[in-house]
Each structure stands twice: as C-alpha cells, then as structure tokens.
A = this chain, B = another copy of it.
Amino acid sequence: MQPSGRSLFPKARVDALSDGIFAFAMTLLVLDIRLPDDLPLTSAADLTAHLVSLSHQMLTYVISFFVLGAFWRSGIEIRPSSETVDRHTVRLALLFLFFVTTVPFSSGLVGRYGGLAPAVVVYAGNMTMLAVLTIAIRYLDVEPRRRSLRSAAGGVLPLFIATAILSVLISLVAPGQGMYAYLLNAL
C-alpha cells in the first residue's frame, strides 16, 4: 500500500482522522472509571465510599484527558503550513496517532495498578513517545532551511518528558505517588 513516488495527501483529511482519534481516545478514557457491574450497593454511604475509592483512577483520567488535550491543541496551532503533506508526514502522523490510541490502555493500567512501577513506566513511555513524535512532526513541518529543534520543542515538551521521567523515579521511591509528577505541567 506504499504509494509510489511523490504522492500527496490533503492535510484536511489527516486533520479529520486526527480529530476523530483524539475525540474517541479522550472519551474512551471514561470507560475505566466504572463501578463493577455486580456491586450490590444499598446505602448512600456505601456508594460514596466506592466513589472515593475511584479517586486515583479519576486523577489519572483528568491527567490523561488534559495531556491529550494539550497535545491536540499544540497540533492545531495556526502556523504557516502547506495544504498538502507528503507520505513521510502521513506515516509520522499515523505513528503519533498510534500512541494516542494507546493512551486509554496505559492510562487504565496506571489507574488500576498505579502502585506498581511497571504501570508507571508504561505510562511514562507512552507520554514520552507522544512528546518526541510531536517534536519530530513540528520540526519537519517547516521548510528545511528554517528548521529549529528549539522551536519545535517549544520549551514545554522537554519539561513534559522530564516530568514523565520524574514520575518513574517517584514511583520507585513512593509507590502510588508517581502520577502527581504530571501535575507539575499544570503550573
């Protein structure tokens, strides 16, 4: 299916797939905040206790939603840009979207097993891939002689990668506290 030679693709269609995948991934996240189907809750106090027990998953959900939102936002910022893209850019966009679709998985993993280091590592890896690919796409999206890694990284993406690494380090020392590192990005 590799198109031969100098195929061109309309950026509007890449944007449409991207908006769809972001919208779906951001909405899918909510499916992880569920009370088990067979929970026999009969009092208000029971239900409140179970809702409180979901607080870690809710924090993860909030973080994942707004991190995805921030990546989406950085992708739609108005920049001088062509209306068509070549096949290398489409490939890179698909690779980026792949790591968008894995967020519901890694977010659900860290929501349920946030006290175990491997879950935090998988989530941090997912976040790092999103940040690195965003830098790559922003770097390649300008004409060759005006490319600048500093401009593509935009100051905040390296900070974001640093908080991902920090979350892993924290979770090794204080299990279950790693996710709080991502809140640094909200400052």
Contacts and interface: CB of A to CB of B under 8 A. Distances in A.
Interface of A: 1-4, 7-10, 13-17, 19-31, 33-37, 41, 43-44, 46-48, 51, 62, 65-66, 69-74, 76-78, 84, 87, 90, 94, 97-98, 101-102, 104-105, 108-109, 112-113, 116-119, 122, 154-157, 160, 185
A118 B52 CA distance: 11
The residue in A7, A28, A35, A73 that gathers the most chain B C-beta atoms within 10 A of its C-beta is A73
A72 B105 contact: no
Across the A-B interface, the 3 shortest Cβ-Cβ residue pairs? A20-B23, A1-B70, A69-B94
A51 B62 CA distance: 24
A25 to B, nearest CB: 6
B9 A73 contact: yes
A73 B101 contact: no
Contacts of A154: 1, 3-4
A13 B14 CA distance: 12
The residue in A4, A65, A160 that gathers the most chain B C-beta atoms within 10 A of its C-beta is A65
A85 B92 CA distance: 27
B119 A33 contact: no
Contact of A30 (B26, B47, B101, B116): B101
Contacts of A108: 34
Nearest to A3: B77
18 contacts: A1-B70, A1-B154, A1-B157, A1-B160, A3-B74, A3-B77, A8-B78, A16-B19, A17-B23, A17-B72, A19-B23, A24-B28, A27-B101, A29-B101, A36-B37, A51-B118, A65-B94, A69-B94
